[in-house]
Amino acid sequence: MCAGAVAVLITGQISFPDAVRSINIDVMVFLFGMFIVGEALSESGYLFTISKRLVSYCSNSWQFIVLFIFSMALLSAFLMNDTMAIIGTPLAQYLGRRLGLSIKMLLLSLCFAITTGSVMSPIGNPQNLLIATECGYTNPFGTFLLYLGIPTIISLVLLVFFIRLFYPQDSRGNICIMEDVPLADPELARILIISLTLITSCIILQVLLTLHPFGVEYSVPLPVIAIVGAAPVILLSRKRVKIIRKIDWPTLVFFIAMFVLMAAVFTTGFFQAAVPAAAASSVFLLYTTSLLISQFISNVPFVALFTPLLQQAGMSVNETMALAAGSTLAGNLTILGAASNIIVIQNAERQGETITFMEFIRFGIPFSLVTGVVFVVWLTFV
């Protein structure tokens, strides 16, 4: 991305002022804030302690798989799928060893759960965030949940049964008892509880404000939610410098370069000519186009290019949500469909575990076909 951005600047395909203006500051601020919260969650060990409490409610592996999939999906909807890929990979490996379950099965469950769960939230993944900020929804949480909530829940239920179908030996029998897991940093965990409470409160406030209780139209901006959540960690934690250093800076650089490069590409008209005009006016074509093209140029750049096309075509909410769903669920088709898949596999390989390309698509193709029908039918008739 950096090489492409530098190339279009040097060749004059975009001016430096236009390049600066192309960078979506709202997205950059939001990612920065949420990365801080995610890194603090990992550094404190708080998620491992929560997992011990959750496992205590399970009497067999089937219950645990259901709980694992839905908890990872829900967390990805509010902490972003890439964040949960970073945090969830060591958690899946740890739980697999402690509970005597297949680590490969848990890693696959993690990949598909965080991709699918992130669909129903404007902050679940970067492409949804782009759509929410570019389209200017006053109640993005309500809009995404209304249009994508039910098909997402149906898809997660289907995921549970697909896991049971493909890994029957791991979905039967009892699980081992886990011992207590001490917090890596109790002080940071307490600060993190404040951060998570503030994020949840801001989301609830945003939804309530869209009801115009005082006759005033106002909404809590998404970047504000992230900064409010990150503020306790930055202001109160003694590990603030370490946490800021360890956040995913390469991804932030990737986004800056992507905004510049995609703005230059869009002004050439090449992308508009390559994509059929009908794809911007049909839920089925939008979903399918998003799903397939995201395998080649990745979902975030695709959405950055395609959103202006939808705006020019007078987009409907259904079509915009089809773009969000298709580009996100591209991560369920192949490993290359989502950055979160790459993060999971790269981190797992450091500990001697992996998922091959064929293992992934063996599960991903049938699951993507079934969930594709669910989302297309729902968005066509909702």
Contacts of 298 (CB under 8 A, 6+ apart): 336, 339
d(CA 336, CA 313): 29
Per-residue pLDDT of the chain (382 residues; tens, 9 = 90+): 899 999 999 999 889 999 999 888 888 898 899 889 888 988 888 877 777 777 877 878 888 899 999 999 998 998 888 888 888 888 898 888 888 888 999 999 999 999 999 999 998 998 998 888 888 777 888 899 999 999 999 999 999 999 999 988 876 666 666 666 677 888 999 999 999 899 889 888 877 776 655 555 566 788 898 899 999 999 999 999 999 998 888 888 888 998 898 888 877 776 666 666 555 668 898 899 889 888 877 788 888 878 877 777 677 888 899 999 999 999 999 988 888 898 888 888 878 888 999 999 999 999 999 999 999 999 998 7
Contact 22, 13 (CB under 8 A): no
Contact 372, 289 (CB under 8 A): no
Tokens at residue 73, please?
A: 């999906």
**125: nearest Cα among 153, 94, 148:** 148
Dihedral of alpha carbons 115, 116, 121, 122, sign: positive
Tokens at residue 78, please?
A: 């509010």
Contact 341, 111 (CB under 8 A): yes
Give the domain ranges of the chain. 2-381
